[in-house]
Every structure is written in structure tokens, then in C-alpha cells.
Structure 1
């Protein structure tokens, strides 16, 4: 079937890129105010013990000793020496964390963290994860994806389907999958067996459209296409590749069902305040994982860690959770830390206007229970902010912060000033919903 001509859409957040993506990786270090920064992609957030220990060793021997979790379940190492690149690459390669140096920045895949562990999903997406990662690393075309392009594999529980991924696979009750693109309202139904290959074909089609349109866009939302035009192109590419597919409406996704800290069945879950994991915390996490038959950790896109512990009785699970809590990790499902995030701020970022992490910690008792997530940013770039509705606290040049409700379809017309983080509660109450 011939492809329909591309049509522009006034609603599209189009962008024309005249340069390559400078997103950092494990081999392309970023120069930050506190030293070099490496971003290690961890598809699906899944780490074996050898990989987890290698990351901890690299942080201790080459960086500031800490691991910093990202909103995609990846890991950043900070405070690195500019000359450590070869040593870091060797350590990550030996641990199996760099299966393809040419693809290391494009292995951005989030997956339902509890998939296959608690019986709540429609399928275990781990086979999809393994197959998609292998297909990505084998694709010459995929090397050109931006380091910002994101895949999401949702096992049907609707936890990662709302993270704004460029290509999303949602498991269906009949064993199939729905392939969605960006925030579009339609999807392509494919078989569960074809799902990983379909996701790769969708990404490769996006690259071709971005190239031929002259935009060289990095994300699906940056393509100025009418609704469904990219989906038509992907449908044609899937058919040409022998993948059966059919269009259907895509149900909207509500709030993400984030794994709550605590013991749930055969899993332990904890949250890392502001995504920061100290060396003692990481050692305790790997120690708990070492006592499990699976011997793995799963990093979540909400800056948490899930440890599968099948076979561990309730007493043993409670004891292990207590050990993790003693290191400062959040084990309480009602902790206000679950709603609070921040960029790195000062002194790590030269562009930051404030020590946002210290201010976030100081204002924690004032965070309104049950309200919107609160994200502290050192400048107007709002690096690392979560998708969806939230409250933005953005540092301003003359000191203090500007608070506003943010998210899809919102503007900050009801913004208020915050001159002292200790007065956060009153400022939150004054924000226009």
C-alpha cells in the first residue's frame, strides 16, 4: 500500500534540529560543574548482581561514590575525572552493560517494574525487553535515534504507558499488544510475538520520516504531522515487513500505578529520596538481592528500586526491608518523599540558581499530603521533571522560587512567589488549581 503524503498539523510541537543530540551516555561524558557525568542506560531498569556491583564500584573508584537514578530508570555517575573514560568503558563492558558501543545512548526502554513478579499484569514483558534490546543493538538505522527517544513496555497494568514514550507497547488480555506512538489516540494491534519487532520498525519509520521531512526531529511529538499520519506510515512499514496489524482507538491512561514502598508478595520496594543512592544504600540493596534466587534489582522510572525475593517468608522480608530503611531509603508508602523530586541543582550544575535539593529537604514537612507531585528546578529548563500534572518550583534569579501548576494543557498564569522554602504550605495553598 503506498504511503499517504505527510500533512502538517498546527497542534504539533514541531521542532527542526540542525545539530546532533548531545545527550550524555556512558561513552560520551558530559562536563558538569561537579566533574564529568556519565549516563548508563539500563533497559527496563533490570540489573543483575554483577552489573549492580560494577556500577557501585565505578561510582566509588571513579566518581563521587553515589548512584543517581533518572526518570527513565537509568543510572548517572557524577564527579568523574575527565580522564576516566577508558576505565569506565572497560568496567561497564566487562559487566555486560555495553553490549553495543554504537547503540549505548539509544537503549532507552522503560518497562513495568513488577511485571512477572506479582501476577497483576497481563503478561511478563521481560521477553519483550530482551528481544527489543537485542533488535535495537542489531539495527544499523537505530544508531541514529536520539538519546532522548523512549520506548515503554507496559504489561497491561498501565504503569509506564503514561510516561510519554515515543513508542509504547501495551499488553492486551488476548495475548496481543497495542503499539502506540507518542500521545496519539490510536494504536496498531499486533501479535504478542511480533510486538518487539513492531516497536523497532516503528522507531526506524520515525527516523525515516524525520529525515525526509527535513526536521531531523528527536521525539515523535516534534514531528509536524496530522493526527494518524505517522501511524499510517508505521502500518505500511509493518505490512511490508510481514507483520499483521490493525488500527484501533487507544484508551487514555490515568495516573501511573507506581510500586509502593514495602513488601508486596515476592518483592521489596524502596524509594531513593531525590533519586540519590549512597554507597551504603547500594551495598545493602545488592546484599538483599544476593540472597534471592533471582539475584537482580529493578530500577523504576520513579526513582525507586524493586528487589525480587521469591521464596522469602514474611519475617525475612520484613527484616530485609528494615535493613534497607536503616540506610535512609524510603520504606513507608505514605512518605512525602514519594511526591517530591528535584534536579541536581547547585553545586552540581553551573546553570542552577539554587541548591534545590537542600531546599526540597528543608520544605518536606510543608509538602501538602495527597496533592500534586512537587518538582524543584534550579532553572527554567526544569531538567528531569516528571510527566503529567505537577507543581513546579523553579528557582529565579533574584532568589526564591516561582511556583505554578504545570502539565499538559496548563499554563502558569496562577504562579506565586516563594521566598522561603519553609513557607511552602502557604504558597501551595495560593496556587490556582
Structure 2
């Protein structure tokens, strides 16, 4: 394992928002609801849609960690939101709510992969919430549970599980193979041990780092705190820039539809439509939604209904290559309404840089910028500056 150059010491505490600890934005408070594995039932979707309508601006934002955000909340709305989320089983622990960041392979258990990681999602989340010490994890902590298809293991999780076969799982630390192995039945216990080891090493080094990769020799030192069965290290797959899009045939013969959500923003009406289409959806790191378990004769009608609301099922659509920060009016630092400008460019066929993968940002901070090679389209107050970086 190669030691990484540590990030300079953080000078402020991690203030990553949650459902109960919101962020003050220009358009009101912003709440982030953790959705481990991106898995949401129909009832939970309806609860989120109602909360967005009653307490926020009427929409949900999808994040690159498969979570959801509500914007435009009034001062003091946190208590009411917390009650709604708890009733929908979306807030199992008030003390741990910001650290429940868990990504899972898209379509896991339905198509592709060596194992179904959905049981891992539930077990890891329950294990984190059951350990009072783990409430001290930074809000940026991330676990990645990859079923072997290689879609989320490369997203830089602090702790991760990567299925190498139906019988062997690799533990990853800061997106690299730790060399430790476990049977799938024991994998979550190893991930929890690694999470505790990360927290212990973080405390030893002063307790200011937001991510394992920021610690001084963090991977090696965290690994040294663990015991387990060693294996030959492997290269962790690079994460794709785009996840699955469109229909996918499941093992059971039914069909999953994967819909890209333009700029990651779902209206409450769209959320309720999703809730009425299937019993469970999965949100992905690519700001798309997996709508699974559809009968073959129901796929066309479901796709048409969702497409009419603006969801995208074409992997070649320009919407799959465009992301944006909040922009005006949500962010006081933004110099433009970047979402409206980006949407207009897509509709008019006028995307810069030949329509290459691009991120529109209202200021130099470029919040929400995706990983990998991407063109920056940055507002300057007198237009946009376009360039690769």
C-alpha cells in the first residue's frame, strides 16, 4: 500500500448538514437525509414528498452519495422534519444520523454482481447506530459496499467492502485494497472493526481529519489496528463516470428501469409517481433512480409516465453529462442561476466544450463537482468561464 500525502490539518469542525443539524442557505435551511444504500420504500418516498411540500420548496435534491436534500426550510423546521423522518424509519438514531453514509452497488441483488449487498447495508447501518462511540465519526465518513461489479468501490470510501467472488470479500480503506479478506457472512463485522479503527486513529492524530485519506499514513496505520485473514492485494476498479441508464433485465425475469434525474432535482409529484410505480427504489451516486421489479408488460407504460415528467432513459442524452451546484437563489455566493442556465443550454443544444462532461458552478468553489475529468463552467458575473481542470 502506498502512503498518501496527508491533507493539511482541518481548522474547523466538520459541519456537514443532516436532518437535525441543518445548513443556513440563502433560500432557507437545507437538510440532508441519509439514505443508506440509496434504498427507499414507497412509503418513505411519500413521506419525503410530503415533507418537501409542507416544510420545504417542494422538491428533493439527489446527492452524489445517494442521499436526499430538502431546501427552503423555515427556521425551527428541524423538529417537525425529524418527527416525520422517524415515523418513516428514516431516522433510526438522532445521534448517528449524519454518519450513516453508505453507498451500495446499483441493481445489487437483482442483476449482476457476486453477492446481494442489501443485507450488508442494513447490518452495517444497524451496527453503526448501535455503537455510541461511532456517533463521533465525521459527517464526511463514507462506506462503500460493492457487490463485485466495480461501480462504487472506486468512489473513495473511508471503509469499503468489495466482493471478489461469491465467497471472498476484500476490505478497502480510503479506496485501496487493505489486503484483508472475509467471507460474505463476516464482511460487515470486518467493516465495522475498520470503522472503529479509523475513528481511533483519527483520535490519536488529533481528531480533526474529515476523511481517512487525510490522516498521516492513514491507510497503513488503520490497517495495523486490524486483524484478519490476509490475501493478495488487487487493484480497486475505477468508478465509472456514468452508472447504468435505461432498462435492465433482472435475474428473476422482471425489469429494472434506471432513470437519470436532470440536475438531480425531483419534484414532489415525481417522487409520488415513483412511489406508485414500485415498492422500492434505489438512489445512485450518479443522481439516478433505479425503479426495479417491473413486469415486462408494464415497462413501456412506466417509462413513458416517468419520461413525461422529465426523467431520462437515454445514456446518450446530454443530461447524463451535466451537473450543477445550487446556484442562485439558493446560494448567496453564487453569481448566476446556474441550474436555469445549464438547463437552457441543454434544451437549446448549446452546451459548451462540444457537450463534453461538464459541471456548472456559480463561483470558484465549484461545489458538487463530480470526480474524474470534467469541464468547469464557472460563473464570473459577466458570463461563464469554460475550461478543463
- Give yes or no for TM over 0.5: yes
1:146 and 1:261 map into 2 onto residues whose CA distance is: 35
Task: Measure the CA separation in 2 of the matches of 1:117 and 1:245.
Answer: 29
In structure 2, the CA distance between the partners of 1:175 and 1:168, relative to structure 1 (3 Å rule), is: same
How far is the alpha carbon of 1:401 from its aligned partner?
2.6
- Whichever of the two has the greater Rg, that structure is 1
2:178–2:223 Cα contact (<8 Å) kept: no
> Which residue of the partner structure matches residue 340 of structure 1?
322
Q: 1:229 aligns with which of 206, 217, 220?
A: 220
Find the partner of 1:326 among 294, 299, 308. 308
Q: In 1, distance between residues paired with 2:356 and 2:165?
A: 31
Which range is displaced more, 142-151 or 217-226? 217-226
Q: Which ranges in structure 2 are unaligned for 5 or more consecutive residues?
A: none
Q: How does 1:4-403 map to 2 (within 5 A)?
A: 11-118=4-111, 120-184=112-176, 186-214=178-206, 216-225=208-217, 228-233=219-224, 236-237=225-226, 239=227, 244-256=228-240, 258-262=243-247, 264-265=249-250, 266-289=255-278, 295-310=279-294, 312-313=295-296, 315-364=297-346, 365-367=349-351, 372-396=356-380, 398-403=381-386
Distance in 2 of aligned mates of 1:381 and 1:44? 28
SS of 2:157 mapped into structure 1 = coil
**Cα distance in 2, alignment partners of residues 380 and 330 from structure 1:** 29
- Paired with 1:94 and 1:180, the residues of 2 have a C-alpha distance of 34
Q: Distance in 2 between matches of 1:215 and 1:112?
A: 30
Q: What is the Cα deviation at residue 145 of structure 1?
A: 0.9
Summarize the Cα distance change of 1:30–1:204 in structure 2 as closer, same or farther, 3 Å threshold: same
The farther-off stretch of 84-93 and 189-198 is: 189-198
CA separation in 1, counterparts of 2:387 and 2:236? Answer: 25
Partners of 1:185 and 1:155 lie apart in 2 by 15
Deviation at 1:185, TM superposition (A): 5.5
Q: CA deviation at 1:189?
A: 1.7
Could you tell me the TM-score, scaled by structure 2's length? 0.92
2 CA distance for matches of 1:247 and 1:218? 29
CA contact (8 A) 1:189 1:248 kept: no
SS of alignment partner, residue 232 of structure 2: strand
Match of 2:387, SS state, is strand
- 1:346–1:199 distance in 2 versus 1, CA, 3 Å: same
Equivalent pair of 1:262/1:333 in contact (CA under 8 Å): no
State the TM-score, normalizing by the size of structure 1: 0.83
Shift of 1:247: 4.6
Offset from partner CA, 1:1-45 (integer Å, 9 cap, x none): xxxxxxx96x51323234421111000111111111110000000
CA separation of 1:245 and 1:162: change in aligned 2, threshold 3 A: same
Tell me which moved more, 83-92 or 250-259: 250-259
Deviation, 1:149, is 1.1
Aligned residue pairs total: 381
Give the C-alpha shift of residue 204 in structure 1. Answer: 1.4
User: Alpha carbons of 1:40 and 1:85: their partners in 2 closer, same or farther (altered >3 Å)?
Assistant: same
8 A Cα contact 2:67 2:283, kept in partner: yes
Aligned equivalents of 2:221, 2:231: Cα separation in 1? 12
Tell me, yes or no, if the aligned pair for 1:345 and 1:355 is still in contact at 8 Å.
yes
CA distance in 1, matches of 2:244, 2:163: 18
- Mapped contact 1:15–1:215 kept (Cα < 8 A): no
- Aligned-pair RMSD on alpha carbons? 2.0
Output one character per residue of 1:389-429: Cα deviation in whole Å (capped at 9) or x when no partner.
22222223x422333323xxxxxxxxxxxxxxxxxxxxxxx
